[in-house]
Amino acid sequence: MTLMTGAQYIESLRKLNTKVYLFGEEVKNWVDHPMIRPSINCLALTYDLAQDPQYVDLMTAKSNLTGNTVNRFSHLHQSTADLVKKVKMQRLLGQKTASCFQRCVGMDAFNAMFSTTYEMDKKHGTQYHDRFKKYVTYIQDNDLVVDGAMTDPKGDRGVSPSQQRDPDLFLRIVEKRADGIVVRGAKCHQTGSINSHEHLIMPTQAMTEADKSYAVSFAIQSDVPGLFMVYGRQSCDTRKLEKDADVDLGNKQFGGQEALVVFDDVFIPNDRVFMCEEYDFSGMLVERFAGYHRQSYGGCKVGVGDVIIGAAALAADYNGAQKASHIKDKLIEMTHLNETLYCCGIACSAEGYATEAGNYQIDLLLANVCKQNVTRFPYEIVRLAEDIAGGLMVTMPSEQDFKSDLKVGQSGKSIGEWCNKFFAAAPGVTTENRMRVLRFLENICLGSSAVGYRTESMHGAGSPQAQRIMIARQGNIAQKKELAKVLAGIKE
């Protein structure tokens, strides 16, 4: 099959009977729902750019499984050059959408599962790797979107999965059959889950033998019996439901999406099971997936950061403040922070290496340093953008007020005339354009696009402490002490 276009991708979603719930009700036509469609548009762009000759080198790759051209989001990395192109692709899409384009998790899950199943088979004599290769081939041949799902609700963080008062707070195997398994539980905060054709499920943490029923990985279609999703709310989300909404939406075309994915005794056939109680490999899988996904943030967040810097500079122009030295300095600082994130994404890619299975793994230490920076720098970038934009970003009247013909006051002017008069911009700039850039910044810094930038920068791919644990493991302090002993002349 040839690569799909964005339009074909959207039509393929209509063929699914995915169960989606929002505001306590089932959404029958979720593809065209105004709160959900912007996130679908993001994914559609990943298809359209793969058709564009200008971007085909970044957006596509040659499959090592079939030799065919595939979308890079379903590719198994074959070199450090592939790892670098991944980051560059993610920056490009961040620039084009200023949001979360949702396919990174599946791509990162593919590569983590590929190498882990190979080593699992080597130790346990299982057949997971061949199964997984067939599954990836199926995804590549049909150009499908896969949601990589790792995060469980977790319940009481102080105890293990098997010690939870409610055993379903971690996804688990509740029945083993000759032809497959039955699973129960949920995955939460699932990026792009509603907009995906398939889901690749992974355990959320290292497991012990007592937790072996939670050590499970499998693939499942979005519309199988027993699987349903509850759409996650975002700040300012109901603005999309307002009549003729435009300027107040900020980033009108694109947006992120998260959901709670519930597995109510879902059957998984054997050919789609890639881990079944091999608890000793759950930690390896989590570590490798987290490394890939932390690398991803050195691309996607940088692309969105490019847009934020541009919008802040526009706001300064429209406010007539672009010549102020402190404005120039803030834009320099924002650029410095953003490019530092990019450096980490490129560095952990360039320092990658081949796994036993043959695909390429990033440098885990540098990937975790990358994500640790992402938990900090975007917050400063946003703070500076809000500083440059000014308080009007969060106190501005609505679009309806700017357009209102209602006469008020003694002079006979309309509400719209008053608003346009008192919120006038610099010479040569319309009030509407000033309003647009401020709403755009509000949307990214505080609103529904923030799911792809601000708070998601903190918690996506693991909280800051998760990276610090990995940095402690990978930092090799003992070797650094030996370096110091040699140079200091210390003999023990």
Confirm whether 300 is a catalytic residue. yes
Residues 6+ apart with CB under 8 A from 184: 168, 171, 172, 174, 263, 264, 265, 266
> What is the end-to-end Cα distance of the chain in Å, rounded?
66
How far apart are alpha carbons 188 and 166 in whole angstroms? Answer: 16
Q: Which of 42, 97, 293, 442 is catalytic?
A: 293
Q: How far apart are CA 259 and CA 453, in angstroms?
A: 17
Put residue 23 in one of left, alpha, beta given phi > 0 → left and psi -120 to 50 → alpha: left
**Separation between Cα atoms, residue 471 and residue 415, nearest integer Å:** 56
Q: Is 100 a catalytic residue?
A: yes
User: For residue 135, what are its two tokens?
Assistant: 């599954």
Point out the catalytic residue in the list 42, 100, 276, 419.
100
Identified catalytic residue from 104, 188, 276, 419: 104
> 456 an active-site residue?
yes
Say which of 9, 118, 258, 453 is annotated catalytic: 258
Selecting among 191, 204, 355, 375, the annotated active-site residue is: 191
Q: CA-to-CA distance for 45 and 41, rounded, in angstroms? A: 6
**Tokens in use for 296?**
């991803």
Which class for 400: exposed (0-12), middle (13-18), buried (19 or more C-beta within 10 A)? middle
d(CA 368, CA 147): 22
* Contact residues for 53 (Cβ-Cβ < 8 A; gap 6+): none
- Sign of dihedral through CA atoms 254, 335, 382, 190? positive
Q: Which of 9, 279, 292, 297 is catalytic?
A: 297
Yes or no: say if 43 and 9 are a contact pair by the CB < 8 Å rule.
yes
Eight-state DSSP code of residue 241: G
Residue 9 annotated in active site: no
CA distance 185 to 63: 34
In degrees and rounded to multiples of 5, residue 260 shows phi and psi of -90, 125
Among the listed residues 300, 344, 348, 370, the single catalytic one is 300
Catalytic residue status for 2: no
Catalytic, out of 198, 278, 386, 456: 456
Helix axes 377-389, 325-350, angle to 10 degrees: 160
CB-based burial label for 411 (10 Å; 0-12, 13-18, 19+) = exposed
Q: Is 245 helix (H, G, I), strand (E, B) or coil?
A: coil
Whether 258 is a known active-site residue: answer: yes
Which residues are the active-site residues?
100, 104, 191, 258, 293, 297, 300, 456
